A = this chain, B = another copy of it.
Amino acid sequence: MRRSVLKFGGSSVSDFHKIKNIAEMLKRRVADGQQLIVVVSAMGKTTDELMANVNHLTTAPKEQELALLLTTGEQQTVSYLSMVLNDIGVKAKAMTGYQAGIKTVGHHLKSRIANIKPELFERSFQTNDVLVVAGFQGINDDDEITTLGRGGSDTTAVALAASNQIPCEIYTDVEGVYSTDPRIYKGAKRLEYVSFEEMMEMSALGAGVLETRSVEIAKNYNIPIYLGRTLSNKKGTWIMTRSELLEKKAVTGVALDKNMLHITVSHPLPDNHLLTALFNKLDKGSVNVDMISQIINIEGLQMSFTIKDSDLGQINGILDSLCQEFKALDYKINEEYVKISLIGSGMRDISGVASKAFITLIENDIPFYQTTTSEISISCVIDAEHGDEAVARLSEAFNI
């Protein structure tokens, strides 16, 4: 029996008409002899609506209660989809995260999947052809409901694919992976294949199609991911191991991350306790730090780093409390920066990518303030106002 995991995001299940169409598509797949695990998110704006309700009640909801509340969104979607499937003659069963045995560890709202028992699915497939699983959620060792944080439903899908050793198809409202955002640069091309590594850089760097974590899991378990538009006949993009990719271009894509904050911390003395305290607090608050640059010179300590803009509330609290401990501390949060990145599997083989990128930015009068590199990417922090132009100029320069 051929099996796959299929995942449909919130915008793909935003109304009952769409849910019915997805059910019909799944029915055809089952008629074709397949058994499916289908992961769905909360319908459309459900999560936002629940959050709006919370804001009527408290400004600081307890994380445990918030997770319990938000997970009702997916629980409703799986119920609806499974009802429709059964109604049209497909044997289907709806499962919440904990019913699917998704055990998590960590913060209630940013949990990580610890393990999944594939036996449970094996058993359920004996009497069902489609298992509809709530994305984004799990249960921890204290039997408390948790959520997986940003992009959590993708993580659920890929983790289920990994534990069952079957491929994963992720359906969303984009056609696949593009060399860069087509809304920013019209010349962007859809990629037929990308490597896990390239995709990870693209996600981490804000291409916004698929979260890094899920690609990481797929890479570790060597689970190919297909990324395509919901109910579209157009081809999407396969994400797979680099060794299976024939052509390795120096630069495959350009990504622009607008959802970031740039923080600069300075202190007149080179005090390492300060850095330890800062990173301790960031870790406790589950704030993910991206680019880090640190300098110690005669003016003392200076450090810049970037985080997601959704962590603004957290970082304000952290820096305030740090100022209590370190009186001479000075900091600046800049919301007007964006990060532009070049990604390519072939980059490690090809010299000159960095210099070509810098030259392109300089020739176009685009100043850059911080640079980091990985094996297959180069990222620069630039002014938000130059973001779109930088995407276009770099896409041209690298012919992507």
Contact of A368 with B by CB under 8 A: no
* Residue pair B84, A66 in contact (C-beta under 8 Å): no
Nearest Cβ in chain B — how far from A134, in angstroms? 9
CA distance A47 to B227 in the complex (A): 36
Q: Main SS of chain A's interface residues?
A: helix
A317-369 with Cβ < 8 A to chain B = none
CA distance A62 to B69 in the complex (A): 24
CA distance A152 to B72 in the complex (A): 20
Contact of A58 with B by CB under 8 A: yes
CA distance A115 to B99 in the complex (A): 20
Copies in the complex: 2
Question: A16 is contacted by which of B53, B65, B96 (Cβ under 8 Å)?
Answer: B53
Question: A84 is contacted by which of B20, B58, B86, B144 (Cβ under 8 Å)?
Answer: B58
* Residue pair B84, A57 in contact (C-beta under 8 Å): yes
Against B, the Cβ 8 Å flags (1 = close, 0 = not) of A57-79 are: 11011101110110110011011
Interface residues of A (CB under 8 A from B): 16, 19-20, 50, 53-54, 56-58, 60-62, 64-66, 68-69, 71-72, 75-76, 78-80, 82-84, 86-87, 93-94, 96, 99, 143-145
* Residue pair B69, A75 in contact (C-beta under 8 Å): yes
- With A50-B76, A96-B68 already in contact, the answer to whether A16 and B62 are too (CB < 8 A) is no
Question: A75 is contacted by which of B54, B68, B79, B144 (Cβ under 8 Å)?
Answer: B68
CA distance A363 to B68 in the complex (A): 60
* Residue pair B87, A79 in contact (C-beta under 8 Å): no
* Residue pair B79, A94 in contact (C-beta under 8 Å): no
* Residue pair A64, B94 in contact (C-beta under 8 Å): yes
CA distance A385 to B65 in the complex (A): 49
* Residue pair A76, B69 in contact (C-beta under 8 Å): yes
Known pairs A61-B83, A69-B75 / 20 extra A-B pairs, C-beta < 8 Å: A16-B57, A53-B80, A57-B80, A57-B83, A58-B83, A58-B84, A58-B86, A60-B87, A62-B83, A64-B94, A65-B79, A65-B80, A65-B82, A65-B86, A66-B79, A69-B79, A72-B72, A72-B79, A99-B143, A99-B145
* Residue pair B19, A57 in contact (C-beta under 8 Å): yes
28 contacts between A and B (CB under 8 A): A16-B53, A16-B56, A50-B76, A54-B80, A57-B80, A57-B83, A57-B84, A57-B87, A58-B83, A58-B84, A58-B86, A58-B87, A60-B87, A61-B87, A62-B83, A62-B86, A65-B79, A65-B82, A66-B79, A68-B75, A68-B96, A69-B79, A69-B83, A71-B75, A72-B79, A96-B145, A99-B143, A99-B145
